[in-house]
Structures are given as C-alpha cells and as structure tokens.
Structure 1
Amino acid sequence: MQHIIDRFISYAVIDTESDANSPTTPSTEKQWVLANLLVQELKNIGLTEVTLDENGYVMGTLPSNVAHEVPTIGFVSHYDTSPDFTGKDVKPQIVHNYDGGDIMLNAEHNIVLSPSYFQDLLLYKGQTLITTNGLTLLGADDKAGLTEIVTAMEYLVQHPEIKHGKIRVGFTPDEEIGRGADIFDVEKFGAQWAYTMDGSQIGELEYENFNAAGAKIIFKGKSVHPGYAKGKMINSMLIANEFINELPKNEIPQETIDYEGFFHVTGLTGSIEETKLELIIRDHDANLFQKRKEKVLDIVAKINAKFAAQFGEDICIAEVKDQYYNMREKVEPMMFIVDVAEQAMRDLGIEPIIKPIRGGTDGSRLSYMGLPCPNIFAGGHNFHGKYEYVPVESMQKAVDVIVRIAELTATTDFSKK
C-alpha cells in the first residue's frame, strides 16, 4: 500500500484550489502543475493517446487486450480542491494501525479528529489513515480518485493476463466550483459510459444526485445620516435578513438528509446601500426543485412590492441559474452500468451502499452531455475541511473495483442489455 500512499501524497501537496470568481479554465494557474504531472504519470505507466488540452483536461487510453468487441468505458476524477477551505501547504499525516481513539491533528492549536464527533472513524480501526495537520484540507476530494485511477491503470498494464476492453481516463479542473464538465469533450473521450471516482465511504455507489441551482441576489438601499433617517433610510442588509427569514427554517443542509432538499446561504456581504447574497438551491425531485426556485422569486417579488412606493423601483434583483440536474434520468435507461459496478464490489467482498448523492459530481453533468456516469466511492471523509481523512485500505479497494469493472466489461454480453 506504500505505493498508493506515496502517489496520493505527491498529489495532495500540490495546491490546486479552484476559484469561482475567475473566468479562466482552469480557474487558477496552479492547477496546471498537477495537470502536467498527471500527463507525465500516464505516459510513464504506459498509457497511450495521453493529451492535455488548452483548458486543462487530461485524457489517456489503456488499449484493449482482447480480440472481441468490448464497450469502451471511462473513469473520471477531478484534480482541483474546494475553495471552501485552504489547500495551500497541505502536510498530510499518516496514522498507522488506527486504535479507535482521538487523533491529534495539531497540538499547537488543539485540533483533534475524534470518533466521538466523527463516528465513521470507528469503521477503520486497525487501518492506515491519512489526515491533515489541522490547518488545511487534505484534498482526498478528489485526489484519492486520481490516485485510484492511475494506480488501477498501472496495475492493468503490468498484468496483461487480466482481460479488458479499451479504457479511457479523464481528469478535470474546476469541479468544485461547478465547472468541471463545462468544456469536457465527450466525443473526444469516446467512451460509451464512465464512472466518476468521487464518492466517500467504501461501498458507495450512486446514480442519482441533486438538481442544483445558484442564486445571486442584490438588495439596494438608501443611506441617510442615522440622526435624520426616519422614513428615509433603507438598510439593504436588513432587507437581506428579511429575505433569509422568509426561507423555510428547517430546509437547510444541517437539518436535512437523504432525499430532502434545501436552501443554503453561502455568502453575504453588504453595506447600507447594497447587499449581495449568494444562495444555492438543491432537490432530488424535479418538481420540488422548480418550486424551490419559484419560492426564491416569490420572496423577491414580495419584497419589491413592499418597498415599491418608498424606493420607486425594484429594490431586490435576483438571478437564478441552473447548475446541474439529477443524473438518474440519464442512467436509468442503462442500469446495467450500475449493475456492473455493484457486481464488481460484491465480487470483492464489498457491500454496495446505493444511495443518492447529496451534491453533484462531474458525472451528473456528463450524463446530460451524452456520457452516462455513475459515481463510485473514493474513500475519503469530511471533505472540504481540516478534519478530512482517507483510509489507505479504502483507496486500495477502489483500485480493485476499477480493475474488476474492467474485467467484467470484457466478459459480459452487453448485446442482451
């Protein structure tokens, strides 16, 4: 497993944080460092048709080693990390033979990773964990996925006795800011279906996700000396607060689970004259998703009506944009691709955990671009923060799943599917 540890850490220490405010692709120059490293690694392990385009998309091919016709499949992961928490100066720590107790991430700041709060830790007693040092995220989302795909391809190259069809791999920038699939060339990729290695706990297998939208709302105000403000001042920050209070109180991330949707305020900055609010909207059900978007616009209309006489124009301006949709609609007609992944896990003694993603992956976007793309566990936990960790054994199991999927794809008669 040391090979996996070394490869993962070599990726993790490279800062690839993406930036939603940047118009470029990749959104940050530093992402190119890992993109170029991945290109070199794919070439080194023996893949062909290795490319890096002008937008940072890496692709490569493991040629088929069977004479009969086999569907071309793909494996995809992203190399950027979330801007929610710093990815600069990542210093991974290795915990061998985890004893089930507290893990001191940073003694100076008393930052502790504890199973009393993160109970999933107890699933990995006796295993090797890679954690943060308490000051950054780790980047297992999705550098664990990168590690697993590269390692699996390397293993297949080194073991030609394992039969497989043509396999394409793809690594994307900017997934964490919702743009990972924006310029992904599905035709060039050339796979009939693919799997994103971007899930969490070992066993996760997901083919449905949130429908997602983002809202940016501007609240206008009028600044007047507070001593003479009666009937004149309009404080845009208080109007933004009024808007937030109109949202359903319990339909927020920390109060919802499974298929339950939510509204989530992600940013709020302002002054008396102008306040900007950022909001994300999520729901698995398409009809409920539409109603959530309408709810936002209804609140905006209500506020505008309330202040129409005093302000003289719309005081609240909203822009609501869809981000991605539930991939289930595109995957269900090809459920055999989920069945293959499920069989691969069972063959390896892994109990599949089939559940909806409370989020999205590149796969959700790619599924609507003509590349059905379920999501498979990559092994990490507590993404986007200082408590992130990944069990090495889970990464090894993910490698094994990729290899087994390749085998099954070469031996399954898909003409009857």
Structure 2
Amino acid sequence: MNDSIINNVAHTSAGERFLRYVQVDTQSDPGSATCPSTEKQRDLGKMLVDELLAIGITDAHLDDYGYVYATIPANSDKAVPVICFCSHMDTSPDCSGTHVKPVIHRNYRGDDIVLPDDSTVVIRPSEHPDLRNQLGNDIITASGATLLGADDKAGIAAIMAAAEVLMNHPEIKHGTLKILFTPDEEIGRGVDKVNLAKLGADFAYTIDGETAGSIEDETFSADGVTVIINGVSVHPGFAKGKLQSALKIAAEVINALPKDRLSPETTSNREGFVHPVSINGGVEQVTIDFIVRDFVDNQLETHEQELEDIVKAVIARYPSCSYQFQVKEQYRNMKQVLDQYPQIMEVGLEAIRRAGMQPIRRSIRGGTDGSRLSFMGLPCPNIFAGGHAFHGKQEWVSVQDMERTVRTILHIAALWEERT
C-alpha cells in the first residue's frame, strides 16, 4: 500500500521550496569562531522552523547554535527504529552566495546553458555528462553571478517536501522520524554542537549527494597538517649570508610536492592526495596548511611521512632554520561504522529501487556530516539530492531529480516500518 501511495505522489513542493531557500544567503565563514559561523544562517533556520510548524510538526525549533530539530511522530504500533534525515543549511565560502537569482530552464533539450548575468558562464553537456539524462526536465541554475546553493538546499527542500507528504498522508506507515538541519558543514563544523541525546535517533541518512539514484557509504578519511617554517629575519640592507626567508623556504616546500601524483588535480577514484590550502606569514615565520585524504587510514600516515620528508629535505639546506609538523585528525571513513549495520544500506538501496531507479553505490572523494555522525554513534550514509557542480557558478539541479529524492526519503521511512 505504501509503495503505490508514494509513487503516485506526482508532484511535491520540493521545487518551489528550493527556489525560496536558495535566495537566503547562508554562506559560512571559516574565519569565524562562533556557531553558527555566520548569523545569516539563522535566517534560513527560522524560515524552516516556521514552515515545519505550519505543516503540523509541533516540536520544530532552532537552538542556540543554529541547528533545526523536528519530529514527525510515528503512526505505526511497531517498535520501529528512529530514523533521522539530515541536510546542511550553509553554502560554500568558495563562491558568493549573496543575492542568488535562480533561473528555471524548462523542458531542457540538451543544449548548452548560457547563464543570463554572465554569458561566459556556460554549462555544457560535454563537461557535465549528467545533463544528458535530463532531457525534458526542468533545470535550475543561478544567474551566473553566484553559486546556486543546491549543496545542500536541494537536500533541505526534499526533506521538507517529504515531511509535508507524510503529515498529509497518515496512510503511509512509518516509525518516529527526526529532522536535523545543520550549520557550517562546508567548513567542517557541521556536527560540532549537535545534541544527539536530544535528537534521539538510531540511524540517519544525510541527503547531500549528487546524481539521482546514488547512495554513498564510504568517504575519505581526513587529516589536517600544519607546517610551520621558522626562518631567520635580518634587515635586507645587511642580509648577505644571514637572511633565510621562511617565505622562500615555504615556496620550495610547495614546489617540491609531486607534480604527477598525490594531488587533487592528478588523482581520481580511490587515490588519495596531499593538498596545500593556505599559506600565511612573512620572512620570520610561515604557516602552510594542508589537507591529507585517503580511503585507507594507514595511507594517511604514508602520505604525511612523505610530506614531512619533503619538508626535512628542504630545511636541511637552511641549517639556521627549523620547522614544526602538526597533524590533526578531521574525520574517518564512515564505511568502518556502516559495515556493522548492513540494514541501513539495504533499506537505502531498496528505497531507490522502489522510487524507480537503479541504485548507484558510490564512495565520496570528500566527507559529509554523516562521516562524523557515524563515529559519534549515529550511523549515517549519504543519499543523492540531485545537485551537480557544487561550489561554483555552474551549479545546477533538476526539479525532477529533487522529486526522486522526495520519493526515496518516503520509501526509506516506509521500509523501516515494513521491515520491523
């Protein structure tokens, strides 16, 4: 019964909600020490709470740290595990999210999409092969001046639309469902202040993936490495034979990194990398921040040792100088946790099938809130939200793919009840 009801929900509010949400600027700020890192993320949080209350979810609220919590009560007599659906409200600092103007390209016919506010921004099927699966669909882009925000407002819109369907269709049987919207995921702090005891979920699904039908149970494991170069500063007028510039030494370190491997631009699939992301300082001292990524934990140590060997070799040429090498764990491959709970993925895969798609099981060359949630005691794979080309002006999503996400969420909720 649930399947026929869910698949007969031809249209939901996902597209209309998405168009509203992307116009709220929620860009996070890695330089801020507050939570949320930007107050404007609360603007979307308040909107979402109001909309959740309006559809009858009585406990929806925004907490002091900018997290949105809500509960869809069970309508089944079974002791169904409590399932959470999670998406993040912030958009990436990499590209402006101010004054986003969404544009709908209806009945897409397979041509290049030229964005109206900047004709140099062109979304080409040759560069975005998933567009070839969108013939006849309605594509949403930004105008060319900003990112779109499908990462992850497409996920939010799908969860909100699914919640509305569930509240209006009590004949779809399900256990207790939790909704969690987080701030600051894009800067690695998405679950820093989450209250898992208050959330009260057994398992979760982030709705933060890409291609329709995809489900991900594996992420990179991730470390951050900080290299501090201590140089010798001398007045440049009297520097001969004495000055040893930390800036130039840092440049040598970066230049000595492998050119044909171990970098984001030269790796794919399951290959890891070492990536310098920022450099700050002057002649006396320079700090270089790296991110180190691999699917296998002990490979992180291998990459870090290679990086430190490079630093040592460069510093050896400057006997009056020194360095510090600091490693900080960021997150670990969530597959280590999810493999202990195979039923979570089994339900996700079957939900995608029942929503009319062939599941695509993938690994993420990155991380999600689910990576850390899994190791915090809330096992959490990642489901597609339909967005593409995240963090830039070419970002796009189709309305029909968001509708597929809604149906997948509904099937997940129903399947947990059915299989209990």
| TM-score (ref. length: structure 2) | 0.93
The DSSP-based 3-state class of the residue aligned with 1:319 is strand
Corresponding residue to 1:78 among 80, 84, 88: 88
The residue number in structure 2 matching 1:260 is 271
Note if 1:341 corresponds to 2:352: no
Question: What is the aligned-residue RMSD (CA, Å)?
Answer: 1.7
1:63-84 per-residue CA deviation (whole Å, 9 max, x = no partner) reads 0101121111110010011111
- Once residues 55 and 72 of structure 2 are traced to their aligned partners in structure 1, the CA distance between those partners, rounded to angstroms, is 10
Aligned pairs (5 A) from 1:29-48: 29-48=39-58
Number of residues of Structure 1 aligned to a counterpart in Structure 2: 409
Unmatched tracts of structure 1, length 5 or more: none
Shift of residue 224, structure 1, vs aligned partner: 4.6
Note if 1:372 corresponds to 2:379: yes
Closer, same or farther: CA 276–256 of 1 in aligned 2, 3 Å: same
Shift of residue 226, structure 1, vs aligned partner: 5.4
Aligned pairs (5 A) from 1:277-296: 277-296=288-307
The residue number in structure 1 matching 2:390 is 383
- Once residues 273 and 112 of structure 1 are traced to their aligned partners in structure 2, the CA distance between those partners, rounded to angstroms, is 44
- Among the aligned pairs, what percent are the same residue? 47
- Once residues 54 and 299 of structure 2 are traced to their aligned partners in structure 1, the CA distance between those partners, rounded to angstroms, is 48
Shift of residue 245, structure 1, vs aligned partner: 3.0
Amino acid at match of 2:342: M
Say which is worse superposed, 219-228 or 362-371, in terms of deviation: 219-228
Q: Is this contact kept in 1: 2:117–2:145, CA < 8 A?
A: no
Note if 1:56 corresponds to 2:63: no
Shift of residue 223, structure 1, vs aligned partner: 4.5
Corresponding residue to 2:194 among 184, 188, 199: 184
Shift of residue 120, structure 1, vs aligned partner: 2.2
Q: Is this contact kept in 2: 1:300–1:317, CA < 8 A?
A: no
- Once residues 195 and 309 of structure 2 are traced to their aligned partners in structure 1, the CA distance between those partners, rounded to angstroms, is 38
Amino acid at match of 1:17: Q
The residue number in structure 1 matching 2:318 is 307
Q: Is this contact kept in 2: 1:253–1:263, CA < 8 A?
A: yes
Unmatched tracts of structure 2, length 5 or more: 1-10
- Once residues 41 and 2 of structure 1 are traced to their aligned partners in structure 2, the CA distance between those partners, rounded to angstroms, is 15
Shift of residue 218, structure 1, vs aligned partner: 2.8
The DSSP-based 3-state class of the residue aligned with 1:106 is coil
1:7-26 per-residue CA deviation (whole Å, 9 max, x = no partner) reads 10111011111111111100
The residue number in structure 2 matching 1:276 is 287
Q: Is this contact kept in 2: 1:282–1:289, CA < 8 A?
A: yes
Q: Is this contact kept in 2: 1:212–1:323, CA < 8 A?
A: yes
- Once residues 83 and 217 of structure 1 are traced to their aligned partners in structure 2, the CA distance between those partners, rounded to angstroms, is 23
Amino acid at match of 2:394: Y
Closer, same or farther: CA 248–108 of 1 in aligned 2, 3 Å: closer
The residue number in structure 1 matching 2:365 is 358
Q: Is this contact kept in 1: 2:118–2:143, CA < 8 A?
A: no
- Once residues 66 and 108 of structure 1 are traced to their aligned partners in structure 2, the CA distance between those partners, rounded to angstroms, is 52
The residue number in structure 2 matching 1:122 is 132
The residue number in structure 1 matching 2:245 is 235
The DSSP-based 3-state class of the residue aligned with 2:364 is coil
Amino acid at match of 1:74: C
Amino acid at match of 2:360: I
Say which is worse superposed, 218-227 or 235-244, in terms of deviation: 218-227
Where does structure 1 differ by over 6 angstroms across 4 or more consecutive aligned residues? none
- Once residues 264 and 81 of structure 2 are traced to their aligned partners in structure 1, the CA distance between those partners, rounded to angstroms, is 39
| TM-score (ref. length: structure 1) | 0.94
The DSSP-based 3-state class of the residue aligned with 1:345 is helix
Aligned pairs (5 A) from 1:161-200: 161-200=171-210
Shift of residue 50, structure 1, vs aligned partner: 1.6
